[in-house]
Each structure stands twice: as structure tokens, then as C-alpha cells.
Amino acid sequence: MATVLIGTSGYDYLEWRELFYPRDLPREEFLAFYALSFPTVELNFSYYRMPAAGGMAAMLRRAGETLDFSVKAHRSLTHDIDPACWKERAAEYRRALKPLAQAGRLGAVLFQFPSSFHYEPDRRKYLDALLRELADLPAVVEFRNPAWQNTRVYDALRIRGTGICVTDMPDLRGLPQSADVATSDRGYIRFHGRNGRAWWGSDAAERYNYLYTPEELEGWERRIRCLRAQVRSLRIYFNNHRAAQAARNAKMLQKLVEEREDGAGPGG
């Protein structure tokens, strides 16, 4: 069975004090404390500002010796694409991740494309060029436009060794359906919450303001087993970060997966 690593999307939230972090814990110690509870983290700040190698190296030192990192791609590669200079931005992004890669701690690079990234020839050509340009990175792609959910795309990702992100989101028109598909040996799941009423037209804090129930997570247990059978490693992140709900749900799912593993003897 594939290794399962569960964590949260982001960790540097001041509002998590007293909910996950001790009240007086210095901010620079958040990551080390986080690593006591989770084996992996998905860095989201790298979407909003281009990371730097020095900052990544410092993060490695603060994290301890074992924490695994997934890093979200900068918005200049997924949302605000400039045909004239995206290759320069890609090279800058690759240089920033070098300390993680050299330490063997770069688990995945997430390219999350918006709903406006349509399944059109120019977009397909761009995605192909981007994945070729960054072929040395452990890429995973997340689509928010359902038109990308087709066999042609899945086959193309498999040829390139690129993973696809399985998502849990509200069941709304215009959003992709959650499908248990793997296109590389690197499995990836993101839980965004099911706050359908706030999904469109709200800020991110309210959109991801959702706490999964134990029953909702138990409904994922069989799906996780299905994905584990298709990959060598499976990273799972909770993006419902409001009020440390992501950390609560990540711990709940960790416990559920561990209990299933402990009970999975012959015939189990």
C-alpha cells in the first residue's frame, strides 16, 4: 500500500493560536510545532509571492529533519500568465525550490489552475510547454474547470509523469466532479470544504470556512484505499483553514486511516 501523508494547506495562521498553536508560541516556531503533528505541509504563500531559495532553506531549518513539503506554484504560472515572460518566472520558481529538492524534501509542486483556464487549444499548448519546462519538478495539476476531466487529458498527464489532484469541493455547477483518478505514482487530494453558499462571490476565508464531520471523512476511507492502490505515495491536504478547522480535520483523517491500517489483517 502507498504511503499516506496528511497535512494542511498552509500553517502560518495567527488565528490558529489557542486553537492549534499554544497562545504564546512565537510565530517563527509555528512550523516546528506543526511538524510534531503532521508529516507534510502544503505551502500556499508561494502562490501570492514568488518564493526565494534563502527563504526555503530557512524554512527547512525551522521544520526539523523529516517534514515533507508540497509547494503551490506562483500565480504567474497559473493565473496571471504573460506569454512574453512566463519562462523566466518558471526558471525563478525552480531556483527557489532548489534547497527543498536537494534535501530530498520536495514532495510535490501543485499547479492549481482557475475556472477561467478553459479547455482550449492555446491553454493546452501552454500547459504542455509549462510541464516540459519544469519536467524536473514533481508536478501535480489541479483543474477548477470540469472540461479538463477527460481521457485525453489523463493520458497526456500519464505520458508526462504528472499527477492530478483529486478534490473535495461543493457539488456546484461549474466545478469539477470529484473523481478517483491517478495519472502518476504521486497521488494528491485537497479538501476545500463544502461551503456551497459562500463558494462564489466570497473571500477565501469564508469560502473555506467548513468543518468536515466524522461521517463525511469516513465516506472517503474507501476512496483513499482505491487511490492508494494506484500510486506509491498519497499526499492529502485540508484547505478549510478558517479557525484551524483544517488541522482538526487532518487529525481526524489521520486517526481514521491509522485505525483502518491497524485492522487490515488477513481478510481485513
Ranges of each domain in the chain: 3-262
Cα(162)–Cα(160) distance, rounded to whole angstroms? 5
pLDDT for 266 equals 38
Given a cut of 90, whether residue 191 has pLDDT beyond it is yes
Least confident of 14-23, 204-213, 243-252: 204-213
CATH of 3-262, one of 3.40.50.170, 2.60.40.2130, 3.20.20.410, 3.40.309.10: 3.20.20.410
Q: Residues 203, 193: contact at Cβ < 8 Å?
A: no
Amino acid at 163: G
Cα(41)–Cα(108) distance, rounded to whole angstroms? 10
Helix or strand holding residue 55 (H, E): helix 53-63
Given a cut of 50, whether residue 265 has pLDDT beyond it is no
Cα(268)–Cα(162) distance, rounded to whole angstroms? 32
Mean pLDDT of 254-261: 92
pLDDT for 121 equals 98
pLDDT for 264 equals 56
DSSP sequence for 247-258: HHHHHHHHHHHH
pLDDT, averaged across the chain: 95
pLDDT for 268 equals 36
pLDDT, one tens digit per residue, over 217-252 is 999 999 999 999 999 999 999 999 999 999 999 999
Given a cut of 60, whether residue 101 has pLDDT beyond it is yes
The band of 56, judged by pLDDT with boundaries at 50, 70 and 90, is very high
The band of 84, judged by pLDDT with boundaries at 50, 70 and 90, is very high
- Bridge partners, residue 235, by sequence: 5, 188
The band of 267, judged by pLDDT with boundaries at 50, 70 and 90, is very low
- Bridge partners, residue 88, by sequence: none
Sign of the CA dihedral 103, 164, 79, 123?
A: positive
- Phi/psi for 17 (5° steps) reads -65, 135
Alpha helices in 80-207, H assignment, sequence order = 86-102, 121-133, 151-160, 204-207
